[in-house]
Structure 1
């Protein structure tokens, strides 16, 4: 790890350590997902150099491209989550003294939905990473199996963290239909993630190529 990379990571961790409302758990969840994606890109890249895996090169190249795309999306979601939660906190401060419930709802609802939609997107992307992990666990180079396992656990952590953020933000939403729809999707994502994680981990074998 280069000095610049280490300093950037330190700066990010210092931001997470601050008493400001953002960045927080939503940003950390997206960051976990982006690290999962980065590990999958790395494992696919190494696997593409192995002649023993030549039959799998087309699939590995496709999954490498998919993981790169998800990595970039999740990095964008890190910034978007911080921005959304900062705006949500600002809206709640501005509306604290309002007495008209309709005005409060009109001011808060868009910010609440935005702060909910973004971690939901993080969760969706992390589920896609678990799908990729399952494939890479099967066809990737065995010497990097521990890296795939870390990618699996990071993707699940990102998804579960994002789900927690969705659920807590939904408590501030007055729209029952929206709460129900988002809650149903998050529950579905969590169930799918658990099944996919277990399936991916079963595909990892200890022997080396």
Structure 2
């Protein structure tokens, strides 16, 4: 099967709109994150080289390089999320007639659920890193691209909220209390930071646009 990240936009949307259970919200969250990364790179590219921002050249180039690195990571997560979901589905379909089969099935389900939680969690981490980059550029960019900054930060806010839902729906079935506690605690901190910064940046953009 063709990788989701290599599909044409209309092909991806048609598959998303079908009765197939995956790709779903997790892959879309990663895609939103990738879009946020791409818009950040675009704004930095439109700003670098401008006379008014000459003293910010080094910072802008760092933002371009880092946003592109995170873009590629998030592109991979579009596929990884669907692959993780498919592994969970396969584990639930394992035979369970005999006691030994039940144990193997339970182990496989738990392992698959952990991966299915880890993938969207890594999306949150990448998106919060991107939001921090937006904070670095929001006072130092070509103001003609203000709306692009706003759209990009909204993509990332949606991505972290959506990815968090996908983390939670998987960890609620995980029986490892240490794993659940770790991801709940880390996720809560990242989510609070991401939402706080994204709303702060969006308000700044609205102030710039007027």
Q: Same fold (TM over 0.5)?
A: yes
Shift of residue 179 of structure 1?
A: 0.8
Match of 1:3 in 2: none
Aligned length: 202
Match of 1:144 in 2: 145
With normalisation by structure 2, the TM-score equals 0.90
Shift of residue 31 of structure 1?
A: 0.2
Cα shift readout 1:26-52 (whole Å, capped 9, x = no counterpart)? 100000000000001100000013211
Shift of residue 96 of structure 1?
A: 5.9
Give me the whole-angstrom Cα distance separating, in 2, the residues matched to 1:36 and 1:188.
21
Shift of residue 94 of structure 1?
A: 1.7
Match of 2:182 in 1: 181
Task: Give 4+ residue runs of structure 1 displaced > 4 Å after superposition.
Answer: 95-101
What value does the CA root-mean-square deviation take over the aligned residues?
1.8
Match of 2:4 in 1: none
- Cα distance, 1:95–1:117 mapped onto 2, change above 3 Å: farther
1:40 maps to 2:37: no
Cα shift readout 1:176-203 (whole Å, capped 9, x = no counterpart)? 1111111111111111112111232243
CA contact (8 A) 1:112 1:169 kept: yes
- Cα distance, 1:111–1:98 mapped onto 2, change above 3 Å: farther
- Cα distance, 1:69–1:171 mapped onto 2, change above 3 Å: same
CA contact (8 A) 2:132 2:197 kept: yes
Where does structure 1 lack aligned partners over 5 or more consecutive residues?
1-6
Give me the whole-angstrom Cα distance separating, in 1, the residues matched to 2:209 and 2:87.
50
Where does structure 2 lack aligned partners over 5 or more consecutive residues?
1-6
